[in-house]
Amino acid sequence: STGYSCLEKGKEYVGFSLTEFTEVGDAGLCQQRCNQHPQCGFFTFYSNGNRCVLQSRKPSQEKNNANAVSGPKRCPLCLVDSFDFRAEKNMHDNGVPGINTVVECQMGCAAEPKCKGFLFQHKTKQCHFKTSDNYLKSLHPDNQYVAGPKTCTGEHWCIMKDIGYEAMYTRRSQTNSAEECQNKCLNDEQCEYFTWQVSNKHCWLKHGPTIANSKYNRQGDHSAPKHCGLPTTCVKERTKYAGET
């Protein structure tokens, strides 16, 4: 575990029910059932009776229920391995004192009002808190680090606003959002980074050794690496469509 959990305790969501299981041990196992069901997008687990209800999507109707735990098909991992927030100032020059694991680093950042994002250095076990509001725009490959945000808001957290990459592309298409463009990149074997342009909805899938150093600033462009940390329970389906190479 990374210290992030997307499960909501004390809430039940009613509606969009697909199927129901009894004698399910805990909420984590209920989430696994949801993950294995192609139509499931959300679940509610009831500890009184060990009942697991799979739902096609998150219902808007919610109720307080001390025995309920709810959550999505999979929790985002929200850690990007081998990335640095390059040249962003650290809160502590030699790492945060008393922290030497990724989980402690994330929890420490969440508890520190000035921390916006964090880095954990594998070799030295140092944790670095980043304090700039624009820390995300400095995301850059570096295999010494694992990078993460203060709070895990979703699997597309690492999309940089008003940033693009010049480098060569594998394919151009149109998508309605930067998130959809990132999903296309994830399902493309060659794609390493993407740039999505709000003006024309163009989604550029990019690869090649020069990409990381081809970053530019332009309002309305959105870019990120292939993924922002893959979900914890499984790797997103890498769908191949007929006719794709």
Task: Tell me if 110 sits within 8 A of 172, measured CB to CB.
Answer: no
DSSP assignments along 200-218, one per residue: TTEEEEE-STTGGG-EEEE
pLDDT tens profile 199-230? 999 999 999 888 999 999 999 999 999 999 87
Say what the pTM is.
Answer: 0.70
Domains of the chain: 8-72 (3.50.4.10), 80-149 (3.50.4.10), 160-225 (3.50.4.10)
Q: Which of 37-41, 42-46, 153-157 has the lowest mean pLDDT?
A: 153-157
Instruction: Check whether 97 has a pLDDT greater than 50.
Output: yes
Confidence of residue 231 (pLDDT cuts 50, 70, 90): low
How many CB atoms neighbour CB 150 within 10 A?
A: 20
Task: Tell me if 62 sits within 8 A of 40, measured CB to CB.
Answer: no
Structure tokens at 38: 């192609």
